[in-house]
């Protein structure tokens, strides 16, 4: 296959108010023939330069109402324009520009980058197959300072980990879900609702939280919460890259440390992942 | 000199509510003698392992009310405890954990990482000299989509840049300022006020903005605004790493592009810097 | 599944001569049940801390004769020791330490890091299935300054790329191949031979090179050369991330530039990939 | 000041043989006036775009015989062409492309990137001052697996580090030296000699090494060796970023570990630095 990545800015004005979308678009193509690999015959090859031009022209003509709609537009364009394309996949990721506010008043043309979780999506299609749409969030760093433990695990002669019922739970979350075959969704609204479901399931109620017996169970709670509250989601994959924190032993320094000072453990680090769908 | 970097978490509870500070602390020491370099005599050397222990013990005993106060504590400890230290500098940088909210209600123990500008500080002292304190913000990415130009610059046979009066102004800002000799400041309050001054000077009024004739002038406006509104700041340094955006020429593609689609120019990139103090 | 990554050093002496292997080992496990996700029942979970201990103990006991053999040892250990493991995959990557030489004499205990292509391998096994072994090279940056072009490609109204018959071919290569079911191979010798085949196919004869009509054909030539000369390889995957270089247009600067000064084009960048097996 | 960074490739042919230099050039300028900052008056400002053009034109016209000569050319050009320049500094760093060899035969146009220490240089000049030249090496990762210890250091109640006489010494070295006022040197030859001096002083004799009582002493030995063997060097600065390795305690796992398995300690990490000149 061939792949092309392009990063660009799409500006849009309504009266004096400016709107900005900066995106990174990566398009994969697989052709019906591999003659360019096998024979050095380039006659069906769509150069990455042409792929770039198409993405930019579509952005100019259609705008980027949502990144999902833009990914759909790109897929459709390649599939309908080029008979030699057997498969197309488009990944779009958004730079998290947010409008600046001064004393609560939104600024008409100034923005700040706030990367608290990156929104992305994918659209893909095989020739004669349906166009399916995925969306997701990545690089979302979360921490619970209590209500987390890990007990009752399998033990043998290589086990040195003690059981703990009050540890830090910290990690970087990646979630990707499928909307199934492309339909007319309000992608912004759904995405925001899913982000809320993720944070809610991770944290538990604001006044007391909810005990997590493992990273695995937290991953599952997030998936279950999204599936139960957002009917448009068909399957959801979640990966949690854990950062462990050890309570520093200060006995030799003549100080007691009651889970007040902790250091992150860089290696080993772990991650757990699960994919969950509807019955 | 010797340098040591340590990253750790300081937890603190008030009733059931948790507070978290995760910091990276880097301490530099210069000794009154260089005999460990010249003669391999280690008798005055303070191992980085000991430096680490001291930082952790101070965090446990004093907490981290503000990163500035913590940096001051560390400097004072090294200068008063070790007669062989000629100079000490402590840099502290904060991981931007923010409390999570659910429907406006703050969560008692859950946090999200929101890196929209990293807060840092420095304290330094020479033996028999004053302890001076610096603070700053870095990795603050800002964009204005209009009200920016660059005209009337010096031209010769190597000039190819056209004059522009409506370009994108985008960059990553680094600001560092001096509070002078250590005094009893409300460091959190001042830092937040300075951050507001920076955003205000970058953006201009929310309803119309303010024209910037160059990156240099914007840097200067930021510095002037901080110096005029925050009396505790004595000197302020600012560096703006520019990202240029070029309007894509779509004439060959049969499309007009009226500053709607732009691509970032990765090289050359530039930056401009200035240090400004009071008379 | 669960994943654990650990980085460590294995030292080994023969008389006064030291040998060093620094590796990063990542082990994936999938269990026969998902009860830890669904029910929070941890009784079958093998903690990442235990996984780390096992890897370190195996390194101590068996040494790391080759990274392939070490990956095989780890897989076998997990599959035979833990009845609850349904699938195990171990990835091992080597830090490229090379022995230092002084005037041609090898040093007995000093090393330099030379990252001109990183060696890695994978071993994987499903319960009741065969143990299969893969190896590869990554981050291998290569350049041909001539004998490369791109012509005769598909054209339409979005094509702006000119045909070129003398461009720079530069990219970062990733190759991964399968040795099939685990057998008693001399993994070091085979890996070095494959690396030579890759460089040979990329470059062509040293006195004149060989013309490449596209990145795709170069990828294919590399695969064909490996498959034809190394019988142990069953399937080979190759990905070439291209860096394009544009000849700088200096006409406006009054200078002619005959492919002497070129700038890398950061976006769009492309890549092409192919997987090739034996009939 | 203003700063501009540009990365490009300079190709050069002798008969059929190709030579390639890929460099990153960063030029700093300070003007005699700050009116662009204070008043928004751009009339003396040299745009980064013009700076880029000048660097590329000089590369085309003069070639890059050595990066030092190229940095000197750039400095001289800015100082003599622009009366408004008060200070210019040019930093040049080389991408470590090496000619490929097949069975010992050098290839006429194929190269591989081998980053075992990056070569860089700097030239700087104030108006009416001398042009001074610096060179250096960075990102040079070295390891000694024995002949290193750390004993007899300062101890107090915060000391937990044990004394060790057989530890791993591993680090990333940065060295920068001054050639003083610009003269007619063979920069390639001198740089290669200095690199050898660094490796020699780090390692000691190939058959037995030389004991290092501390990172500090190793830094000093490197500097002393360079100063004593390379008369053109006037001052040399060296920074060694240490990576510590801890012997894994395997007692609880029923295994003895005699410095055979070690893990890198990511934090705290330290570094030591020293600048040494001639009397």
- Span C193-243, pLDDT tens digits: 999 999 999 999 999 999 999 999 999 999 999 999 999 999 999 999 999
To the nearest whole Å, the CA of A52 is away from the closest chain D CA by: 22
What are the tens digits of pLDDT across the range D139-182?
Answer: 999 999 999 999 999 999 999 999 999 999 999 999 999 999 98
Pick the residue of B21, B102, B109, B195 with the most A CBs within 10 A to test the interface with A by mutation.
B109
C265 confidence band (pLDDT: 50, 70, 90): confident
Residue indicated by tokens 């040079």: D140
**What is the chain C residue with the closest CA to D7?**
C263
Q: What is the C-alpha separation between C25 and C47, in angstroms, rounded? A: 16
Nearest CB partner across the interface for C109, out of D6, D9, D144 = D144
Residue D214's Cβ-count burial label (10 Å; 0-12, 13-18, 19+) is buried
Neighbours of B200 (CB within 10 A): 22
**Which chain D positions have a beta carbon within 8 Å of B37's beta carbon?**
216-217, 219-220, 274
A267 confidence band (pLDDT: 50, 70, 90): low
Q: Rounded to an integer, what is the distance from CA A98 to the centroid of its chain?
A: 18
To the nearest whole Å, the CA of B11 is away from the closest chain D CA by: 19
D254 confidence band (pLDDT: 50, 70, 90): very high
pLDDT value of residue D279: 74
Q: Can you read off the two tokens belonging to residue B183?
A: 């005094």
To the nearest whole Å, the CA of D10 is away from the closest chain B CA by: 16
Rounded average pLDDT over B167-179:
96
What are the tens digits of pLDDT across the range A170-182?
Answer: 999 999 999 999 8
pLDDT value of residue A41: 94
For D72, the 3-state DSSP assignment is helix
pLDDT value of residue B267: 64
Residues of chain B with CATH 3.10.270.10: 2-129, 140-277
For residue B215, pLDDT over 90 is answered with yes
Rounded average pLDDT over A177-205:
96
Rounded average pLDDT over C134-149:
98
A269 confidence band (pLDDT: 50, 70, 90): low
- Chain B touched by D37 (CB under 8 Å): yes
Q: Rounded to an integer, what is the distance from CA D96 to the centroid of its chain?
A: 12
- Distances in Å between the Cα of A203 and the Cα atoms of A176, A271, D253 are 19, 19, 36
Indicate the Cα dihedral angle D143, D146, D151, D156, nearest 10°.
60
For residue C267, pLDDT over 80 is answered with no
For residue A223, pLDDT over 90 is answered with yes
- Chain B touched by A112 (CB under 8 Å): yes
What are the tens digits of pLDDT across the range D11-22?
Answer: 999 999 999 999
Chains with ≥3 Cβ pairs under 8 A against A? B, C, D
Rounded average pLDDT over C47-59:
95
Q: What percent of chain D has pLDDT over 90?
A: 89
pLDDT value of residue C269: 67
For A159, the 3-state DSSP assignment is coil
The domain made up of B140-277 has a fold known as Urate Oxidase (3.10.270)
Q: Can you read off the two tokens belonging to residue D170?
A: 């591993």
Rounded average pLDDT over A89-113:
97
Pick the residue of B26, B35, B36 with the most D CBs within 10 A to test the interface with D by mutation.
B36
Neighbours of D87 (CB within 10 A): 17
What are the tens digits of pLDDT across the range D89-144?
Answer: 999 999 999 999 999 999 999 999 999 999 999 999 999 999 999 999 999 999 99
For residue D3, pLDDT over 90 is answered with no
Q: Is the CB of B107 less than 8 angstroms away from the CB of A206? A: yes
Residue indicated by tokens 């003509």: A61
Q: Is the CB of A270 less than 8 angstroms away from the CB of C2? A: yes
To the nearest whole Å, the CA of B161 is away from the closest chain A CA by: 21
CA dihedral sign, ordered C45, A268, A167, A156: positive
**Which chain A positions have a beta carbon within 8 Å of B141's beta carbon?**
112-113
- Chain B touched by A38 (CB under 8 Å): no
pLDDT value of residue D273: 85
For residue C279, pLDDT over 90 is answered with no
B77 confidence band (pLDDT: 50, 70, 90): very high
Q: What is the C-alpha separation between B89 and B77, in angstroms, rounded? A: 12
pLDDT value of residue D269: 67
pLDDT value of residue D267: 65
Q: Is the CB of A270 less than 8 angstroms away from the CB of C41? A: no
B273, A22 contact by CB (below 8 A): no
**Which chain A positions have a beta carbon within 8 Å of C54's beta carbon?**
158
Average pLDDT, chain C: 95
Task: List C261's β-bridge partners, or say none.
Answer: D10
To the nearest whole Å, the CA of C51 is away from the closest chain A CA by: 8
Neighbours of B156 (CB within 10 A): 11
Nearest CB partner across the interface for C11, out of D106, D250, D259 = D259
For A201, the 3-state DSSP assignment is helix
**What is the chain D residue with the closest CA to B215?**
D37
The domain made up of B2-129 has a fold known as Urate Oxidase (3.10.270)
The b-or-e profile of B42-78 (16+ CB within 10 A means b, else e) is bebbbbbbbbbbbbbbbbbeebbebbbbbbbbbbbbb
What are the tens digits of pLDDT across the range D177-201?
Answer: 999 998 889 999 999 999 999 999 9
**What is the chain B residue with the closest CA to D212?**
B40
A26 confidence band (pLDDT: 50, 70, 90): very high
- Chain B touched by C258 (CB under 8 Å): no
- Chain C touched by D260 (CB under 8 Å): yes
**Which chain A positions have a beta carbon within 8 Å of D264's beta carbon?**
267
DSSP element (H, E) containing A120? strand A118-126
pLDDT value of residue B265: 86
Average pLDDT, chain A: 95
Chains with ≥3 Cβ pairs under 8 A against D? A, B, C
Average pLDDT, chain D: 95
What are the tens digits of pLDDT across the range A106-160?
Answer: 999 999 999 999 999 999 999 999 999 999 999 999 999 999 999 999 999 999 9
Q: Which residues are CB-neighbours of C259 under 8 A, at least 6 positions away?
A: C166, C247, D11
C147, C214 contact by CB (below 8 A): no
State the complex-level ipTM: 0.96
Where residue C240 falls (left for φ over 0; alpha for ψ -120 to 50; beta otherwise) is beta
Q: Can you read off the two tokens belonging to residue A270?
A: 């772990």
Q: What is the C-alpha separation between A113 and A117, in angstroms, rounded? A: 11
Please tell me whether the peptide bond between C268 and the residue prior to it is cis, using omega within 30 degrees of 0.
Answer: yes
Neighbours of C278 (CB within 10 A): 10
Nearest CB partner across the interface for C4, out of A45, A154, A270 = A270
Rounded average pLDDT over D31-43:
92
Chains with ≥3 Cβ pairs under 8 A against C? A, B, D
B182 confidence band (pLDDT: 50, 70, 90): confident
- Chain A touched by C47 (CB under 8 Å): yes
pLDDT value of residue D271: 81
For residue B269, pLDDT over 90 is answered with no
Number of B–C residue contacts, CB under 8 Å: 17
- Chain C touched by B263 (CB under 8 Å): yes
């Amino acid at each position: 296959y061939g792949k092309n990545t392009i990063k660009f800015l799409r500006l849009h004005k309504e009266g004096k108010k400016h709107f900005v979308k900066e995106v990174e678009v990566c398009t994969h193509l697989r052709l019906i023939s591999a003659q360019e690999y096998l024979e050095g015959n380039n006659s069906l090859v769509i150069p990455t330069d042409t792929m770039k031009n198409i993405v930019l022209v579509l952005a100019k003509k259609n705008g980027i109402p949502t990144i999902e709609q833009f990914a759909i537009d790109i897929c459709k364009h390649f599939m309908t324009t080029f008979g030699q394309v057997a498969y197309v996949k488009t990944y779009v990721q958004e730079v998290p520009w947010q409008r600046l506010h001064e004393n609560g008043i939104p600024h008409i043309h100034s923005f700040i980058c706030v990367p608290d979780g990156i929104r992305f999506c994918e659209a893909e299609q095989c020739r004669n197959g349906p166009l399916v749409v995925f969306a997701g969030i990545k690089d979302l760093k979360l921490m619970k300072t209590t209500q987390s433990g890990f007990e009752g695990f399998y033990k043998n002669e290589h086990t040195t980990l003690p059981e703990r019922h009050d540890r830090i739970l910290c990690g970087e979350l990646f979630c990707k879900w499928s909307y199934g075959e492309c339909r007319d969704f309000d992608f912004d609204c759904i995405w925001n609702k899913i982000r809320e479901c993720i944070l809610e399931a991770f944290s538990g109620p604001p006044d007391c939280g909810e005990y997590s017996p493992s990273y695995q169970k937290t991953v599952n709670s997030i998936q279950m919460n999204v599936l139960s509250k957002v009917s448009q989601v068909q399957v959801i994959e979640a990966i949690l890259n854990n950062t462990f924190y050890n309570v520093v032993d200060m006995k030799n320094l003549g100080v007691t440390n009651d889970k007040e000072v902790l250091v992150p453990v860089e290696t080993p680090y772990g991650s757990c992942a699960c994919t969950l769908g509807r019955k």
